Amino acid sequence: MSQQQNYADFHRRSIEDRDAFWNEQAQLIDWKQPFSRVCNYDNPPFARWFEGGLTNLCHNAVDRHLKDRADQNALIFVSTETDVEHVYSFRELHAEVQRMAAILQAQGVSKGDRVLIYMPMIPEAAFAMLACARIGAIHSVVFGGFASHSLASRIEDASPVAIVSADAGSRGGKVVPYKPLLDEAIRLSSHKPAKVVMVDRGLAGFERVEGRDVDYGQARIEHMETVVPCEWVDATHPSYTLYTSGTTGKPKGVQRDTGGYAVALAASMKHIYMGEPGETYFSTSDIGWVVGHSYIIYGPLIGGMATIMYEGLPIRPDAGIWWSLVEKYKVSVMFSAPTAVRVLKKYDSSFIKKYDLSSLKALFLAGEPLDEPTAQWISSELGKPIIDNYWQTETGWPILSLCNGVEKADSKFGSPGKAVYGYNVKLLDDQTGEELKGGNQKGVVAIEGPLPPGCMQTVWQDDDRFVNTYWSSVPGKMVYSTFDWGIRDDDGYYFILGRTDDVINVAGHRLGTREIEESISSHPQIAEVAVVGVADQLKGQVAMAFAVLKDASLLTDEAARLKLEGEVMKIVDGQLGAVARPSRVQFVNVLPKTRSGKLLRRAIQAVCEGRDPGDLTTMDDPAALQQIKDLQA
């Protein structure tokens, strides 16, 4: 693609001449059988991309590179937790993926079956994902930090034939045993997987369940030479499901296709990330999140790049660890989160300056809004372009960014950039559904259908929820709502202002406040609870809980309140994991509500952030908000 191409024309063509545009992008991947139709949007809002085409994600990520770059670095594993570093070439990765695929097939896994992956950031997790794609199975990765309760709900929804897990993860030198959490989750779930493949890292002893648990190390030896060919699947065949928090307690399984996803990632490597075959990509995310799926595993490998899989903290052994990897492996594209940059900002800039970062083209950031001071700091320290991305688990790749691979554009700090090709982004009035065309008007960021390739097909086994959740919230229009407020300036740059619903963003992890509220409510002393996201300098947002007790007399007993707060935190930890734990649980007599009984979460949030709570004429009891104000004082 010529660097001189006009991006506005490029984007316009992707919307107005959609099929021709995406037909061109589809040439970036291999097809076993060409597709007969680019986009079938006969049944909105369900889009079927590249119908009739046969392809395979694993073939495009691994096998097709064997001809030209078999001995090039493919997967670079670095763990500062266990002091292990191992580099796999494309040839070696190909062999390991086949071994894992053979192990899965031996456990009865075949095309269309689900495999749940509950693992730390180790190479075997990447082998498992790619092996599933290889044999046409549907993987569902659950973040290794999730507790049994959350894991059980995902096992129940995905109903996997097999689970791949490990004895433990490690964070900050502290071992986190996974097997007891997994065993408890299986006990809690009504669905019982037939087999559990266990990778033993030697970090934590565990008990094996006879007849169910399979030792990966032993099975791998048995399948060292097993050849497992790629299963060619229809482009619309589901590649994976990934669960994301919603405004209800039940997690949503975002279902992704195969062909559309491969094309979207291949195009993004070129047009957004400017990655070239033979270069190295370093995403600091986790495979439990969508960034890990798209830009640790599939995207870089599809693009013929080496990808770094890092287990550890950005400050251990010191705050220069990431930059040392950039120098050592000549990283050209780096992808991280604003939270991580805010952590690094606390350390001396010599940790950045002592490394040769000349290979780095740009640092991309996503996960939560990037504030201007953080962007300014990292920009001045690195002397490289800082490019914010805005996207969601549901879309699988960026909605808003700068496509410098098409035409160079300047970053505006505080903005993730412009609408990415393929996305027909609109700002709509949330009351009337009318499009806001003038600059700097606040509206809901929405996307007109069809969603481009690579976006979610539906909610796993729940088409109605897909339509009702995402396509029915703007009056009089069937458009996809991002549930984020935004404004757009006169140059077409968007600025994201926060959520329109009850999902909060803690250090890039999306959490439904309803899930946290349900967890807190399970404590026998809690009568009622409201959880809100409150702005936090380091994490972007933190959860804050306000609870009404069944026994009001405990409000005056400080020791009892502190004990209760600790108990509630422990419950949330146990059911949802540490990431969902509120920063505080504060106890009040009554929660602020409208006269019709609706919780005034936005008013609570405003008070916590020291802002004007706005019009409270519909409020039932003004003293309720005052109590929360007093607690913040």
Contacts of 10 (CB under 8 A, 6+ apart): 403, 406, 407, 421
H-run or E-run covering 282: strand 280-283
Q: Do β-strands 509-512 and 503-506 pair in parallel, antiparallel, or remain unpaired?
A: antiparallel
Task: Give the pLDDT confidence score for residue 552 in this predicted structure.
Answer: 85
Residue of 434 and 342 predicted with greater confidence: 434
Is the predicted pLDDT of residue 75 greater than 60, yes or no? yes
In which band, very low, low, confident or very high, does the pLDDT at 167 lie, cut at 50, 70 and 90?
very high
- 352 CA to centre of own chain: 27
CA distances from 592 to 34, 240, 504, 512, 601 (A): 59, 41, 20, 20, 8
Segment 613-626 shows an average pLDDT of: 71
Task: Give the pLDDT confidence score for residue 595 in this predicted structure.
Answer: 57
Is the predicted pLDDT of residue 248 greater than 60, yes or no? no
The whole-angstrom separation of Cα 153 and Cα 167 is: 21
488 token code pair:
């757009």
Segment 384-391 shows an average pLDDT of: 94
Is the predicted pLDDT of residue 614 greater than 50, yes or no? yes
Task: Give the pLDDT confidence score for residue 527 in this predicted structure.
Answer: 82
User: Of 227-231, 258-262, 518-522, which range is least confident?
Assistant: 518-522
Is the predicted pLDDT of residue 164 greater than 60, yes or no? yes
Segment 376-403 shows an average pLDDT of: 95
Segment 244-267 shows an average pLDDT of: 87
Segment 168-195 shows an average pLDDT of: 96
What DSSP letter does each residue of 110-168 carry, written as one string?
Answer: -TT-EEEEE--SSHHHHHHHHHHHHHT-EEEE--TT--HHHHHHHHHHH--SEEEEESE
In which band, very low, low, confident or very high, does the pLDDT at 201 lie, cut at 50, 70 and 90?
very high
- 467-479 pLDDT, tens digit each: 999 999 998 899 9
Is the predicted pLDDT of residue 615 greater than 70, yes or no? no
474 token code pair:
């703007």
Taking each helix axis from N to C end, the angle separating 622-632 and 601-608, rounded to the nearest 10 degrees, works out to 30
Q: Which CATH architecture has domain 7-443?
A: 3-Layer(aba) Sandwich (3.40)
Task: Give the pLDDT confidence score for residue 503 in this predicted structure.
Answer: 76
Task: Give the pLDDT confidence score for residue 597 in this predicted structure.
Answer: 59
The whole-angstrom separation of Cα 192 and Cα 152 is: 10
Task: Give the pLDDT confidence score for residue 438 in this predicted structure.
Answer: 78
The whole-angstrom separation of Cα 291 and Cα 76 is: 17
Where do the domains of the chain lie? 7-443, 444-499, 503-632
Nearest to 130 by CA among 239, 226, 209: 239
In which band, very low, low, confident or very high, does the pLDDT at 246 lie, cut at 50, 70 and 90?
low
Residue of 509 and 245 predicted with greater confidence: 509
- 322-331 pLDDT, tens digit each: 999 999 999 9
Is the predicted pLDDT of residue 59 greater than 70, yes or no? yes
Task: Give the pLDDT confidence score for residue 2 in this predicted structure.
Answer: 41
Query: String of b and e for 325-346 (b: at least 16 CB within 10 Å)?
Result: bbbebbbbbbbbbbbbbbbbee
Task: Give the pLDDT confidence score for residue 626 in this predicted structure.
Answer: 85
Task: Give the pLDDT confidence score for residue 630 in this predicted structure.
Answer: 85
Residue of 295 and 550 predicted with greater confidence: 295
Task: Give the pLDDT confidence score for residue 3 in this predicted structure.
Answer: 45
What DSSP letter does each residue of 460-471 carry, written as one string?
Answer: TT-HHHHHHHHS
Query: H helices of 223-367, where?
Result: 259-271, 290-292, 299-302, 321-329, 338-344, 350-353
Is the predicted pLDDT of residue 483 greater than 60, yes or no? yes
Structural contact between residues 327 and 355, judged by C-beta atoms closer than 8 angstroms: yes
Is the predicted pLDDT of residue 13 greater than 50, yes or no? yes
Residue of 322 and 414 predicted with greater confidence: 322
Do the domains 503-632 and 7-443 match in fold? Answer: no
In which band, very low, low, confident or very high, does the pLDDT at 508 lie, cut at 50, 70 and 90?
confident
Nearest to 408 by CA among 129, 73, 5: 5
In which band, very low, low, confident or very high, does the pLDDT at 596 lie, cut at 50, 70 and 90?
low
Task: Give the pLDDT confidence score for residue 108 in this predicted structure.
Answer: 98
- 301-320 pLDDT, tens digit each: 999 999 999 999 999 999 99
Structural contact between residues 458 and 478, judged by C-beta atoms closer than 8 angstroms: no
Structural contact between residues 359 and 331, judged by C-beta atoms closer than 8 angstroms: yes
Task: Give the pLDDT confidence score for residue 445 in this predicted structure.
Answer: 96
User: Of 361-365, 411-415, 628-632, which range is least confident?
Assistant: 628-632
The whole-angstrom separation of Cα 582 and Cα 366 is: 23
- 73 CA to centre of own chain: 25
Task: Give the pLDDT confidence score for residue 518 in this predicted structure.
Answer: 79
In which band, very low, low, confident or very high, does the pLDDT at 74 lie, cut at 50, 70 and 90?
very high
Query: H helices of 282-389, where?
Result: 290-292, 299-302, 321-329, 338-344, 350-353, 372-382
Task: Give the pLDDT confidence score for residue 600 in this predicted structure.
Answer: 80
Please tell us whether the domain made up of 503-632 is placed in CATH 3.30.300.30.
yes
Task: Give the pLDDT confidence score for residue 1 in this predicted structure.
Answer: 40
Is the predicted pLDDT of residue 42 greater than 80, yes or no? yes
Segment 82-86 shows an average pLDDT of: 98
In the chain, what's the furthest Cα-to-Cα distance?
A: 74
The whole-angstrom separation of Cα 276 and Cα 16 is: 29
Q: Scan for tokens 């220069």, then name that residue.
A: 320
Is the predicted pLDDT of residue 285 greater than 60, yes or no? yes
Is the predicted pLDDT of residue 251 greater than 60, yes or no? yes
626 token code pair:
């005052």
User: Of 237-241, 255-259, 346-350, which range is least confident?
Assistant: 346-350
The whole-angstrom separation of Cα 493 and Cα 488 is: 5
Structural contact between residues 81 and 173, judged by C-beta atoms closer than 8 angstroms: yes
Average pLDDT, the chain: 92
Structural contact between residues 140 and 241, judged by C-beta atoms closer than 8 angstroms: yes
